[in-house]
Amino acid sequence: MNSCRNQTPALPDGWIVFVLSEKELTGGIAHGFTSQQAATTEALTVCRRNGGSECKVVWSHVNTCMAWADSINSKPWIWSVQSGGSREQAVGNALIDCRRRGGENCLIHTTPCSDDDNRFPAPFEAASSKAIVDPNTVGTWELPVGKGRWIWRIDPRGTYQFQSETGDGAHHFGSFASNGKVWALHSSTGAIDDGPYTFKPPDLLIATGVLGTGNWHRISTKP
């Protein structure tokens, strides 16, 4: 009886549900829910909030880690969702599968695990040690905006962080790639942005995206 009383109670199941709307190239993910139904409802809500009009559940699993990789430059759009015992394993599995499907520039979009707190975004695992990142884009970049500035940190391992210092509190992170002509990012919030860019030595990056063209000045070679 004493041995029974001293046993550690089993942790509740944690569900991850992935919903996709291929029409808009967007999706929604819910993690850390103890109910599959609750996770599904949340993932559908996120997908629709991100602009999806044909959101459908394409992946659902319990007590695991997951990675979503896709290649937005591929036509048709190529994507992969794979699981693993850790974020790192899930990332590797998703990148391998995305490339196997013909993805030309596969990037990791998000990497949730079942036991991540569902009140917060899942921690992000670095995309890959073999990420495609132009060395000229690596570092910490500054763009004056109004009375403040935007800060864009680009890591050579294929990740980025963005922070607004204009008073709006905007902040996001995710995967990043650049190849000397175009750049692309997949945000942990579900946003996708890309466009052409030009690097002018020693520290000017002229990049065009959904918000227009910005002249980013590098303030540090370290992200």
Q: How is residue 131 written in tokens?
A: 């990420």
CA 59, CA 106: separation in Å to the nearest integer?
19
Task: State how far the Cα of 171 lies from the Cα of 137, in Å rounded to an integer.
Answer: 19
Buried/exposed 179-203: b ≥16 CB within 10 Å, e otherwise: eeebbbbbbbebebbbeebebeeeb
What's the confidence (pLDDT) of residue 1? 44
Q: Which domains does the chain have, with CATH numbers?
A: 15-110 (no CATH), 135-220 (2.40.128.370)
- What are the phi and psi torsion angles at 87 (to 5°)? -60, -45
Q: How far are the Cα atoms of 113, 116, 179 from residue 120, in angstroms, in the given order?
A: 12, 8, 32
Confidence of residue 108 (pLDDT cuts 50, 70, 90): confident
| Sequence letter at residue 173 | F
Question: In DSSP terms, which residues pair with 27 in a beta bridge?
Answer: 20
pLDDT digits (tens, 9 = 90+) for 167-213: 888 888 888 888 888 888 877 666 778 889 999 999 999 999 989 99
Residues recorded for the chain: 223
pLDDT class for 11, splitting at 50, 70, 90?
low
| Residue 166: count of CB within 10 angstroms of its CB | 14
pTM over cut 0.85: no
